[in-house]
Amino acid sequence: MGVLVWWVLPVLTTVLAIGWATWVRRAPRRAGDEETVEAYARFRAALTRSSTGNTAPPPDV
């Protein structure tokens, strides 16, 4: 019985490592066209907001 325990631990660890490596190396989810266009619109809006804001330098603290 003791030998079985000593063999189960490395085998289980190896299986978990293979599963983790497979999970990490999976292909990233591809974004749809609408999602990327909306993200780009939010990006442009953020740039516009930051460039039209107060142009005075920040006060010294």
What are 47-61's pLDDT values in tens digits?
888 666 556 666 675
The total number of structural domains that make up the chain:
1
pTM, full prediction:
0.45
Residue 50: inside a domain: yes
Question: How far is residue 48's CA from residue 23's CA, in Å, rounded to a whole number?
Answer: 39
Residue 60: inside a domain: no
Q: Model confidence at 34, in pLDDT bands (50, 70, 90)?
A: confident
Q: Within 13 Å and on the Cβ side, how many CA atoms surround 31? A: 8
Residue 9: inside a domain: yes
How confident is the prediction for the chain on average, in pLDDT? 85
Chain centroid offset of residue 5 CA: 37
Residue 61: inside a domain: no
